[in-house]
């Protein structure tokens, strides 16, 4: 289990207050358990769409419940049920969770308790994770600082959370801008095709084999197409103009949904094993018109400095995105009106009446993949070509820290997180909200 030290809670659940959906927190009036509810109580004073209600089982902890969610059901809301204290029966809270799933888009069952030993066993395994209305998402985490230790368990369900295959599938086009990505572009293409997504690659006049690799894949699969932009090669990156070109391609494409996908990114749905097409079809059926992403950056280390392919298989260490642009990644949208992608530098598709699905998709990002590739990309392919737009717009600062160097060494594994099959469980909050608690 991953330990998070010196933790502070951020605005993880306010995503649920978008639009007209209210957010109800069912919790005791007194003795809020843990720092999360202390944070939530503070946010309720600011955001008037967040309501703190007495917990229907508060009497189990010695409190007095002034209102019961069972007697007065809350329909059409995002509901947080918090089980306080230690030694409480989980079954009544889970029964409430189950009963509220039928009529509410988001229902979160949260248990926080202070513990005295890092070896304490989380009780999440005792919670039934298959319910009448489908299998909810479940996660657990352990928090520690100098003052106390806490264990947290989360189960997330509701009509907009429990995945159900839609009877009508949408068509999706991924638009991929590329410049000198020959080592990874085919891996990205194959991932998108396996996710039932069509792909249009816009090459920015690569000088390596990127175009050749794309054309080879297009010969095997008609869902792949290629164009070049601008009409003739130039010395500058011209990212703003490239993004305006993406907007034009998207609106004229005739596809139901568009994904703005970088040439070094692998996207995943919030539900394990569900393709991008099926996931987008589901959220489309629930009335949403855009998707956001949580970015995790994979790094090469001293032991993987010479990796040259199959990057998802061979690069095992990552960190959550830290740059401001990582926290707004609305890069998928329903294609029923023109969008503004360029003004945000490609981080956010803006359009009228946009409704972003609150649970974020996962973006596994592989920008720097080996020492040789990183040095070529940063020092030859990016920094010199970024200068004009950096001066004009303040964009493309991600590689400035390397400007005074001539080499890029591998990252230390000690400062990164190792990817394994516990990621979905141990990082549920970060995974779905994009807000790291580290």
Predicted confidence at residue 167, as pLDDT, reads: 92
Alpha-carbon torsion (41, 45, 46, 51), positive or negative: positive
- The whole-angstrom separation of Cα 144 and Cα 82 is 20
User: Using CA atoms in the order 422, 423, 428, 432, what is the torsion angle rounded to 10 degrees?
Assistant: -150
Q: List, in order, residues 6 or more apart from 19 with CB less than 8 Å away.
A: 355
The residues of the chain scoring below 50 in pLDDT are 1-23, 26-37, 48-74, 85-89, 116-130, 436-438
Judgement on whether residues 120 and 61 belong to the same structural domain of the protein: yes
CATH code: domain of residue 126: 3.40.50
Taking Cα atoms as reference points, which of 36, 92, 20, 42 lies closest to residue 435?
36
- Give the three-state DSSP class for 362: strand
Tokens in use for 51?
A: 């309501």
User: 386: burial class by Cβ within 10 Å (0-12, 13-18, 19+)?
Assistant: buried
Cα Rg of the chain (Å, integer): 23
Is there a domain that residue 409 lies in? Answer: yes
- The whole-angstrom separation of Cα 405 and Cα 375 is 10
The H or E element spanning position 143 is strand 137-144
Predicted confidence at residue 391, as pLDDT, reads: 85
Is there a domain that residue 249 lies in? Answer: yes
Q: Are 263 and 214 in contact (CB under 8 A)?
A: no
Q: Centre a 10 Å sphere on the Cβ of residue 51 and count the other Cβ atoms it contains.
A: 15
Judgement on whether residues 125 and 193 belong to the same structural domain of the protein: no
Alpha-carbon torsion (391, 397, 401, 407), positive or negative: negative
| Composition of the chain by helix, strand, coil, percent to 5 | 30, 25, 45
Judgement on whether residues 310 and 256 belong to the same structural domain of the protein: yes
- Give the three-state DSSP class for 41: helix
Predicted confidence at residue 27, as pLDDT, reads: 44
Judgement on whether residues 150 and 293 belong to the same structural domain of the protein: no
Is there a domain that residue 256 lies in? Answer: yes
- The whole-angstrom separation of Cα 108 and Cα 127 is 13
Predicted confidence at residue 19, as pLDDT, reads: 42
Q: Indicate the pTM of the whole model.
A: 0.83
Judgement on whether residues 106 and 221 belong to the same structural domain of the protein: no
Is there a domain that residue 350 lies in? Answer: yes
Taking Cα atoms as reference points, which of 174, 342, 331, 330 lies closest to residue 242?
342
- Give the three-state DSSP class for 122: coil
Is there a domain that residue 167 lies in? Answer: no
Judgement on whether residues 269 and 358 belong to the same structural domain of the protein: yes
Provide the CA 9 distance to its chain's centre, in angstroms: 17
DSSP symbols for 210-268: HHHHHHHHHHH-TTEEEEESSSS--SS--HHHHHHHHHHHHHHH--SEEEE--TTEEEE
Judgement on whether residues 112 and 186 belong to the same structural domain of the protein: no
Judgement on whether residues 187 and 144 belong to the same structural domain of the protein: no
Is there a domain that residue 162 lies in? Answer: no
CATH code: domain of residue 410: 3.90.550
Judgement on whether residues 331 and 288 belong to the same structural domain of the protein: yes
- Give the three-state DSSP class for 3: strand
Q: Are 295 and 326 in contact (CB under 8 A)?
A: yes
Taking Cα atoms as reference points, which of 393, 352, 399 lies closest to residue 240?
393
Q: List, in order, residues 6 or more apart from 267 with CB less than 8 Å away.
A: 191, 192, 195, 259, 261, 276, 293, 361, 362, 363, 364
Q: Are 213 and 182 in contact (CB under 8 A)?
A: yes
DSSP strand pairing (50-53 vs 23-26)? parallel
Instruction: Enumerate helices (H) and strands (E) in the chain, giving the number of each.
Output: 11, 17
Judgement on whether residues 144 and 250 belong to the same structural domain of the protein: no
The residue range of the domain holding 35 is 3-157
- The whole-angstrom separation of Cα 107 and Cα 98 is 9
Predicted confidence at residue 200, as pLDDT, reads: 98
Judgement on whether residues 220 and 133 belong to the same structural domain of the protein: no
- The whole-angstrom separation of Cα 321 and Cα 216 is 33
Q: How far apart are the first and last CA of the chain?
A: 14
Predicted confidence at residue 302, as pLDDT, reads: 84
Q: Are 240 and 389 in contact (CB under 8 A)?
A: yes
Is there a domain that residue 56 lies in? Answer: yes
Q: Count of domains in the chain? A: 2
Judgement on whether residues 153 and 192 belong to the same structural domain of the protein: no
Is there a domain that residue 430 lies in? Answer: no
Predicted confidence at residue 197, as pLDDT, reads: 98
Predicted confidence at residue 283, as pLDDT, reads: 96
């Amino acid at each position: 289990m991953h330990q998070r030290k010196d933790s502070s809670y951020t605005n993880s659940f306010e995503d649920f207050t978008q639009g007209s959906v209210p957010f109800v927190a069912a919790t005791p009036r007194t003795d809020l358990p843990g720092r999360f509810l202390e944070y939530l109580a503070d946010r309720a004073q600011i955001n008037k769409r967040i309501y703190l209600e007495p917990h229907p089982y508060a009497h189990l902890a010695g409190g007095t419940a002034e209102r019961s969610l069972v007697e007065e059901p809350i329909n059409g809301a995002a509901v947080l049920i918090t089980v306080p204290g230690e030694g409480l029966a989980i079954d009544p809270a889970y029964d409430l969770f189950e009963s509220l799933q039928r009529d509410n888009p988001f229902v979160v069952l949260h248990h926080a308790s202070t513990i005295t030993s890092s070896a304490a066993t989380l009780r999440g395994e005792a919670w039934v994770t298959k319910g009448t209305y489908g299998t909810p998402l479940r996660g657990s985490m352990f928090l520690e600082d100098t003052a106390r230790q806490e264990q947290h368990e989360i189960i997330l369900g509701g009509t907009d959370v429990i995945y159900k295959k839609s009877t009508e599938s949408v068509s999706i086009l991924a638009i991929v801008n590329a410049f000198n990505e020959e080592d990874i572009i085919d891996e990205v293409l194959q991932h998108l095709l396996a996710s039932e997504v069509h792909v249009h690659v816009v090459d920015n006049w690569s000088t390596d084999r990127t175009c050749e690799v794309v054309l080879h894949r297009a010969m095997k699969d008609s869902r792949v197409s290629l164009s070049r932009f601008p009409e003739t090669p130039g010395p500058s990156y011209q990212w703003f103009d490239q993004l305006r070109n993406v907007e034009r391609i998207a609106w004229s494409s005739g596809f139901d949904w568009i994904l703005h996908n970088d040439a070094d990114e692998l996207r995943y749905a919030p539900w394990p094993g569900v393709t991008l097409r099926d996931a987008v079809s589901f959220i489309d059926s629930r009335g949403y018109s855009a998707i956001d992403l949580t970015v995790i950056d994979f790094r090469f280390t001293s032991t993987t400095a010479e990796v040259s392919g199959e990057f998802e298989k061979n690069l095992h260490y990552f960190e959550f995105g830290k740059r401001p642009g990582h926290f707004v990644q609305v890069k998928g949208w329903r294609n029923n009106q023109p969008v503004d992608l360029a003004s945000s530098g490609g981080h956010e598709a803006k359009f009228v009446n946009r409704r972003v699905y609150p649970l974020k998709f996962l973006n596994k990002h592989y920008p720097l993949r080996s020492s040789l590739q990183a040095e070529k990309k940063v020092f030859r392919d990016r920094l010199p070509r970024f200068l004009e737009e950096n001066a004009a717009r303040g964009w493309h600062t991600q590689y400035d820290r390397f400007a005074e160097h001539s080499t890029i060494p591998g990252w230390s594994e000690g400062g990164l997180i190792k990817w394994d099959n516990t990621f979905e469980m141990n990082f549920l909050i970060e995974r779905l909200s994009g807000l790291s608690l580290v």
